[in-house]
């Protein structure tokens, strides 16, 4: 069972440790965060490396894959947001770089705390970074055994679990990929003291039946990542273009132990999941993700289960509110209906919620026997007196909450008041889903008696892509 290396307590949980160690998490603050046997990286060489920090300090790493998206490890989750992604800071004792609030954590739905399976997490930032930094390119390709790869992070540089020598600057080391079969056979003695050629006080450990297809392993004599480096990138360096990220620091037995490689989440195993969420959530996804193939522009109109073909997308259901609330006819919605408003026929107004938050939720939409692996929700809206701190969010829920997601548009960056927008959309994976609910949510800070923080919706279209 893969548990933290040392015992740490946070405001959220306390987890006892063994040597089979997750390499940094929200409950791991100070002990054992290190790159072992490495060197200080050249300042700016890995400017995509991100330090995740809360009120205590650095607790995990990450990589900037879009101006407002950080890729990290699920076991770094904080069970809440509001902590900072620190971008462009080589020395953590300085105030250099850009501190951006983490707005949303998207952990992989298959993540398992016990096995560290699917240790991937997408962090959506409150805004794009203003730092002039590189983005790392996420690689869909499997890495060959024997390939040289580079891992980086901040923290202790001493291999002993009981000695902490914290690094202030970003450290790096080169390791080499080993096969999953070889990694799974790893076993050896951990800890203890050598006395007259024998180890006293040590114990046996192994990786047997723990290395899965979504993991990869890498090692080199006396060099390794370790706890606190968690979430940081494992990359193939490039001298002529973007570095290619192939792994995420995840777990391992001890640190730089000659018998145990470091274990990383394998990017190629979940590249489509990563790509989908970057395309959904980023305000400016890099061209390397080819999001245009999934976010095709299409038109809207009313219908039911029409399955009309519009290019690569097929229309499943459309709501133009010509006959009332339609598929949003739910008790408890903070919405009013207008047969005509602002030169459009059939409009609903989302307003008058509690504490500045108003919502409108759909009925359950059947997806049984659906051939689609991707869904797209496109809508037309008009904002009324929304301030820069106010957001319009679209949530989705598959199979009664088995999978959920959200995308928010801020009036600071994404739209202006007093005009219609017909081009906002959300794309997400939906393979084998049987039902869907969507919800529009207006997040403002006005009192319920005020006239502000309102949104008009004139059409909603749900489309599918096989």
The full set of domain ranges for the chain reads 1-291, 303-465
CATH superfamily of 303-465: Galactose-binding domain-like (2.60.120.260)
Write out the two tokens for 76.
């770094």
Residues forming a β-bridge with 20: 253
Known catalytic residues are 75, 119, 230
φ, ψ (nearest 5 deg) of residue 45: -65, -40
Return the pLDDT at 410.
Answer: 82
Q: From 320, 317, 353, 322, select the one nearest 437 (Cα to Cα).
A: 317
Q: What three-state secondary structure class fits 270?
A: helix
- Residue 106, sorted as left (phi over 0), alpha (psi -120 to 50) or beta, turns out to be beta
Return the pLDDT at 7.
Answer: 22
Q: What three-state secondary structure class fits 154?
A: coil
Return the pLDDT at 23.
Answer: 47
Give the tens place of pLDDT for each residue, 236-295. 999 878 899 999 999 887 665 778 899 999 999 999 999 999 998 999 999 999 886 543
Q: In degrees to the nearest 10, what's the CA dihedral of 191, 10, 93, 4?
A: 30
Give the tens place of pLDDT for each residue, 105-125. 999 999 998 899 999 999 999
pTM for the full predicted model: 0.59
pLDDT tens-digit profile, the chain (466 residues): 333 222 222 222 322 223 345 544 433 322 223 354 457 888 999 999 999 999 888 889 999 999 999 999 999 998 777 899 999 999 988 999 999 999 999 999 999 988 999 999 999 999 999 999 999 999 999 999 999 999 998 855 444 444 445 567 898 889 999 999 999 998 887 776 666 666 666 777 889 999 999 999 998 865 556 556 789 999 999 987 889 999 999 988 766 577 889 999 999 999 999 999 999 899 999 999 988 654 333 322 223 333 333 347 899 999 999 888 999 998 889 999 898 888 898 999 998 887 778 999 999 999 988 888 999 999 999 998 888 778 899 999 999 998 899 898 887 777 888 999 998 899 999 988 999 999 999 987 554 444 457 899 999 999 998 8
3-state secondary structure 171-223: EEEEEEEECHHHHHCCEEEECCEEECCEEECCEEEECCCCCCCCEEEEEECCE
| CA gap 265, 112 in Å, rounded | 12
For the domain spanning 1-291, the CATH number is: 2.40.10.10
φ, ψ (nearest 5 deg) of residue 366: -70, 135
| CA gap 397, 83 in Å, rounded | 25
Return the pLDDT at 466.
Answer: 84
| CA distance readout (Å), 410 to 128, 389, 393, 394, 406 | 12, 7, 9, 12, 13
Q: How many residues does the chain have?
A: 466
């Amino acid at each position: 069972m893969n548990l933290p290396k040392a015992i740490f307590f946070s405001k959220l949980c306390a987890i006892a440790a063994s040597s089979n160690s997750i390499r940094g998490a929200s409950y791991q603050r100070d002990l054992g965060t290190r790159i072992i046997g490495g060197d200080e990286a050249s300042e700016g060489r890995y400017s995509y490396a991100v330090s995740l920090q809360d009120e205590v300090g650095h607790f995990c790493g990450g990589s900037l894959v879009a101006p407002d998206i950080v890729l990290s490890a699920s076991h770094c989750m904080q069970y809440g947001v509001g902590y900072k992604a620190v971008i462009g800071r080589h020395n953590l004792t300085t105030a250099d770089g850009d501190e951006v609030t983490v707005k949303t954590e998207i952990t992989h739905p298959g993540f398992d705390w016990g096995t560290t399976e699917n240790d991937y997490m997408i962090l959506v930032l409150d805004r794009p970074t203003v730092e002039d930094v590189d983005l790392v390119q996420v690689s869909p390709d499997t890495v060959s055994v024997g390939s040289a790869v580079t891992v980086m992070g901040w923290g202790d540089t001493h291999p002993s679990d009981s000695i902490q020598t914290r690094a202030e600057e970003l450290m790096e080391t080169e390791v080499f990929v080993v096969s999953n079969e070889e990694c799974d056979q790893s076993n050896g003695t951990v800890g203890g003291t050598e006395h007259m050629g024998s180890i006293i006080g040590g114990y046996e450990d192994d990786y047997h039946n723990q290395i899965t297809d979504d993991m990869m392993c890498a090692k080199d004599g006396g060099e390794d990542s370790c706890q606190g480096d968690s979430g940081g990138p494992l990359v193939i360096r490039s001298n002529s273009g973007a570095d290619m990220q192939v792994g995420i620091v995840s777990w391992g037995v001890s640190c730089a132990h000659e018998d145990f490689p470091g274990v990383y989440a394998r990017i190629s195993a979940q590249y489509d999941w990563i790509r989908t969420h970057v395309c959904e959530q980023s305000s400016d996804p890099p061209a390397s993700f080819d999001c245009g193939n999934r976010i095709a522009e299409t038109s809207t109109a009313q219908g039911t289960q029409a399955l009309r073909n519009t290019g690569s997308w097929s229309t499943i259901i459309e709501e133009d509110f010509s006959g009332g609330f339609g598929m949003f006819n739910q008790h408890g919605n903070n919405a009013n209906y207008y047969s005509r408003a602002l030169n459009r026929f059939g409009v609903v107004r989302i307003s008058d919620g509690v504490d500045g938050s108003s919502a409108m939720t759909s009925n359950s939409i059947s997806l049984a026997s659906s051939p689609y692996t991707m869904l797209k929700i496109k809508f037309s809206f008009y904002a009324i007196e929304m301030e820069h701190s106010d957001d319009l969010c679209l949530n989705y829920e598959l199979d009664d909450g088995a999978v959920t997601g959200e995308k928010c548009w801020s009036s600071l960056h994404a739209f202006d008041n007093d005009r219609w927008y017909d081009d906002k959309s959300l794309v997400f994976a939906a393979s084998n889903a049987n039902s869907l609910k969507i919800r529009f949510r207006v997040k403002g800070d006005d009192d319920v008696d005020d006239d502000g923080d309102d949104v008009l919706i004139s059409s909603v279209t749900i489309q599918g892509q096989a």
